[in-house]
A and B are shown apart, each in its own frame.
Chain A
Amino acid sequence: MSVLHIAILSPFLFAIIVPYIYKRLRQIHTGWFVLLLPIILFIYFLQFLPQVKEGEGIVQSVSWIPSLNVDFTAKIDGLGLLFALLITGIGSLVVLYSIYYLSKDQEQLNAFYVYLLLFLGAMLGVVLSDNLIVLYTFWEFTSFSSFFLIGYWHHRERSRYGAQKSMLITVFGGLSLLGGIILLYIMTGTFSIQEMVANTSTIINHPLFLPAMIFILLGAFSKSAQFPFYIWLPDAMEAPTPVSAYLHSATMVKAGIYLVARMTPIFAYDANGYWVWLVGGVGIFTLFWGSFNAIKQTDLKGILAYSTVSQLGLIMSLLGVGAGAVHFGNDNQLFIVATIAAVFHLINHATFKGSLFMVAGIIDHETGTRDIRRLGGLMTIMPVSFTIAFIGTFSMAGIPPFNGFLSKEMFFTGMLRVVKMDIFRFDSIGFLFPVIAWIGSVFTFVYSMILLWKTFGGQVQREKLPKTPHEAPFGMLISPVILASLVVIFGFFPNILSDRIIAPAVETIMPMFAIDEIHISHWHGFQPELYMTIGVIIIGILLYLTLGKWTRIYQLFPNKLTLNQLYDVLLPSLETGSNMFIRTHMTGYIRTYLAYIFTFFIAILSFTMWSKHAFHFESTNLADIGLYEVLLFLAVIIGTVTILASKSRLTSIIALGAVGYAVSLFFVLFRAPDLALTQLVIETISVALFLLCFYFLPRNFHLEKTRFKLTNALISVGVGLVVTLIAISSYSTKLFPSISQYYVDHTYDPAGGENMVNVILVDFRGFDTLFEISVLAIAGLGVYGLIKLRLARRKEG
């Protein structure tokens, strides 16, 4: 157990003592105590920067389940460290923000911080685990803690709905991720990511390559809210705003991005380009779809949710396109820019989206609404929030001098270079990538402007606001101010990130290349990217100004055809469907179940007999037929037919007795005196019992009970036929002689008896007899209990 392991597990340990702190120290906001932990962790992770820059990964392993090759191997490399810093850094800011956002007196703070710490630890575990099973364990922990956090206000129906939806979708993805992990294990025999990267050639040539890749991508796409799994993210906005800012913009939704980045060295070598197409294609479509849908939202957090979906699509598409670089020898530096852009935008998105969510929370907190139709004119009332929102939205829209501009430029560069790729048929339809990317960016610009100006521009509609708007308290503003400052700092000095953080991360994603010095510059000269950005701004402004005229196109897509509608219809219909299924065949009639059992008996046995050509008849081993046997045969048949045909109970009981006596006569004929004796006695007692029973029951069967039923008859004939055929064929296939000769030879010596049957019963196989006696004893006790115990009546009396 190294310090690193303790660091990863410390949030879990701290989560245990949070409720104690909450109970003991009610007068201090619990968040202050929690705040210490992410700050310490952040500082702890900062110290790895120089080591990681030198390319030295830190690997610490603790044995967990050695017999299954599962060890808790923690590994710090460029990518893991980048995420760890994001998680702990933004985690600290979010905790600080939540101290001012959540009221000490009205909220269940202990629950909130326990869930948040669980989430923090789980996220650290995901990004720092080298063992895929451990990664999966932490992955599901993030799903669970996110579920709890979304449903934090569990008295609200929408919260529970959103929590359930995100749970179902992300757990679906998590389970398919597990499937992919297992397939990878089958291919390589290891759960370690490092060892898998070393075995890439085995994986890409394996027939299970494609299923494993699809399973893992399903997991990544559902977690990172890619099309069509993005539907859970807008509904997750029911969570408290610090949670939305943390989980649903900066960290959890990037777990899928992390996974894709982490798996790139394993899957990108595939000669058919599935990885590049799937990741890139899904990403770029999600970018377009998310930005397109963000415009019609009226809720601040709704816009931000769709914008998160869109930006995640952007990062995903960059990762996909960047993976194409492995197929170019010397030109790879040309294409690796996409991967650099992905990492850079990942950081940028975390900063500006975190601050925007916090601003949305502030507005909600200070005005009482998040509906942009009721907001407006807050610019002069909330100047600090406005400034933060201004920086955030302009960065999101990709306008200089903020960091979003830089990553958007690089995004365009990456997408434009796709056209130059002459692999995987990119030369034919690859031009779609920059086109869709550009359209998506226009929409991004439009919704960013809507977000900013509908909230802060125009007139204040005081009568529509539940509260009198005023600027937020100082403490609430600290975190968004820090994030907005980072947006500006990274915008002006992007290269403070490039060497220390981005380069090691890119080296982890693309371990096959030596990364030259990364230099992010504001000015590329008159490149196509510049014209694209100018185009985005011009068209974006035009579209924003004419918003009322063209938003009618959204009505062309009826609400019934959305994916949400599909989910909402699918889930209840699954329920009603299974209900109907159960109702149609679980009738509650014992006859129906018996019919199922017998039908299955007939079907499975006759199918086996038919498919194995099992029917076999041999006449050599048969005994002769004697006259007495034929007579008894007829007696049994007549007795049985009488039972079947009789409408009176008495007749059928007597006929059953006749059959029993005939059977005992069979035993006489077949040289079984003990059996005959027992059968006679027992048949007598049984008939007596039947008569006793008969005495208390109505004299006749109800008429419909004895009515002939064709299905019943068919099933019965089938059962009889199957039994007969099996009896004949098994008698005809004697595979080895009986072991009875032993009993015959040893009955007198050494067993000391003359009656072989009795010696077998009490000497050779006495255990059977012991338990048969127990059966009789239990039956006797049961009968006694049934007759004597009258619990129901005693209760009444």
Chain B
Amino acid sequence: MELLMAILIGFLFASATYLLLSKSILRMIIGTGLLSHGAHLLILTMGGLKKGAVPIVNGDGTPVTDPLPQALILTAIVISFGVTALFLVLAYRGYQELGTDNMDELRGTDGNE
């Protein structure tokens, strides 16, 4: 299973990279979204995907899945959400002010004030 997940994660990373290298700012944001999905799944996979019970105290001693990666991912999800939200609003404002969402036209050149 982990092998399959590793391939999926690699695929998500590759797609995210491809999107990040494109010119449209929205595609770049979508790329970051895919990248964080990949990263979250990577953390989960590296923690081990052995089947066990849900990590809630059950009293009968059956093994549970590793709770630590889940806590880490939860934190990561929230943070990436905050960043994505800010990034989106930035793109929206940028488009409003500058009239373009093309990264090539947003190129900083020397001599620009």
Contact = CB atoms under 8 A, between A and B. Distances in A.
Interface of A: 587-591, 594-595, 598, 621-626, 629-630, 633, 636-637, 640-641, 643-644, 649, 652-653, 656, 659-660, 663, 666-667, 670-675, 678-679, 682, 685-686, 689-690, 692-694, 696-698, 701-702, 704-706, 709, 712-713, 715-717, 719-721, 723-724, 727-728, 730-731, 738-740, 743-744, 747-748, 753-757, 760-761, 765, 768-769, 772, 775-776, 778-780, 782-783, 786-787, 792
Contact of B42 (A667, A701, A723): A723
Nearest to A723: B13
5 contacts: A594-B20, A625-B4, A629-B1, A756-B55, A786-B86
A727 to B, nearest CB: 4
Contact of B85 (A702, A727, A728, A779): A779
Given A672-B65, A743-B67, A755-B55, A709 B1 contact: no
A22 B23 CA distance: 65
A772 to B, nearest CB: 5
Given A673-B54, A705-B22, A743-B68, A666 B77 contact: no
A353 B38 CA distance: 78
A732 to B, nearest CB: 9
Nearest to A696: B92
A672 B78 contact: no
A752 to B, nearest CB: 10
Contacts of B93: 786-787
Contact of A744 (B20, B24, B67, B107): B67
Interface string B42-69: 1011111111111111000000111110
Interface string B72-113: 011101110111111011111101110001111011110000
A671 B75 CA distance: 17
A760 B71 contact: yes
Given A598-B17, A693-B89, A696-B95, 17 more contacts: A622-B3, A623-B1, A641-B15, A644-B15, A675-B74, A697-B92, A698-B101, A705-B24, A706-B22, A720-B10, A720-B15, A723-B42, A724-B13, A727-B42, A728-B2, A782-B86, A783-B86
Contact of B82 (A633, A637, A747, A775): A775
Instruction: Give the most central of B33, B41, B70, B108: most A CB within 10 Å.
Output: B70
A632 to B, nearest CB: 9
Nearest to A622: B2
Give the size category of B's interface with A. Answer: 35 or more
Contact of A643 (B3, B30, B86): B30
Given A693-B26, A696-B95, A716 B18 contact: yes
B46 A727 contact: yes
Contact of A663 (B6, B17, B37, B48): B37
B10 A716 contact: no
Nearest to A643: B30
A739 B72 CA distance: 14
Given A624-B1, A720-B11, A678 B68 contact: no
Contacts of A624: 1, 51
B10 to A, nearest CB: 3
Contacts of A682: 77-78, 81
A637 B70 CA distance: 23
Given A671-B65, A693-B92, A772-B79, A728 B74 contact: no
B14 A716 contact: yes
A594 B42 CA distance: 22
10 A-B pairs closest in CB distance: A720-B14, A724-B10, A779-B82, A756-B67, A716-B18, A716-B17, A760-B71, A756-B55, A720-B10, A623-B1
Contacts of B108: 588
A702 B64 contact: no
A360 to B, nearest CB: 48
A297 B38 CA distance: 75
A652 B19 CA distance: 11
Contacts of A637: 8, 11
Interface of B: 1-15, 17-24, 26-27, 29-30, 33-34, 37-38, 40-42, 44-57, 64-68, 70-71, 73-75, 77-79, 81-86, 88-93, 95-97, 101-104, 106-109
A626 B2 CA distance: 11
Contact of B4 (A629, A713, A730, A740): A629
A667 B41 CA distance: 9
Contacts of A679: 77
B79 A712 contact: no
A761 B54 contact: no
A529 B39 CA distance: 87
A782 B108 CA distance: 23
A265 B9 CA distance: 69
A622 B37 CA distance: 22
A81 B73 CA distance: 75
B36 to A, nearest CB: 10
A663 B102 contact: no
B91 A693 contact: yes
Contacts of A671: 51-55, 64-65
Nearest to B67: A756
Nearest to A682: B81
A721 B106 CA distance: 31
Given A643-B30, A659-B37, A779-B85, A705 B102 contact: yes
A666 B4 CA distance: 13
B61 to A, nearest CB: 10
Contacts of B109: 588
A430 to B, nearest CB: 60
Contacts of B44: 666-667, 670, 672, 675
A712 B20 CA distance: 9
A792 B94 CA distance: 13
Contacts of B12: 636, 640, 720
Contacts of B42: 723, 727
A787 B91 CA distance: 11
A792 B15 CA distance: 37
A698 B26 CA distance: 11
A643 B95 contact: no
A756 B82 contact: no
B53 A720 contact: no
Given A594-B20, A720-B13, A727-B46, A757 B55 contact: yes
Interface-centre pick from A624, A686, A693, A765 (highest chain B CB count, 10 A): A693
Contacts of B101: 697-698
Contacts of A595: 21
A660 B77 CA distance: 11
Contacts of A629: 1, 4
A696 B37 contact: no
Given A594-B21, A727-B10, A769 B15 contact: no
Contact of A589 (B6, B24, B104): B104
Contacts of A675: 44, 70, 73-74, 77
Contacts of A678: 74, 77-78
Given A656-B34, A727-B42, A792-B97, A715 B17 contact: yes
A761 B10 contact: no
A689 B68 CA distance: 30
A731 B55 CA distance: 21
B41 A663 contact: yes
A341 to B, nearest CB: 59
A42 B65 CA distance: 88
Interface centre among A624, A672, A682, A768 (most CB of B within 10 A): A672
B71 A765 contact: yes
Contact of B51 (A591, A623, A775): A623
A509 to B, nearest CB: 56
A589 B104 CA distance: 6
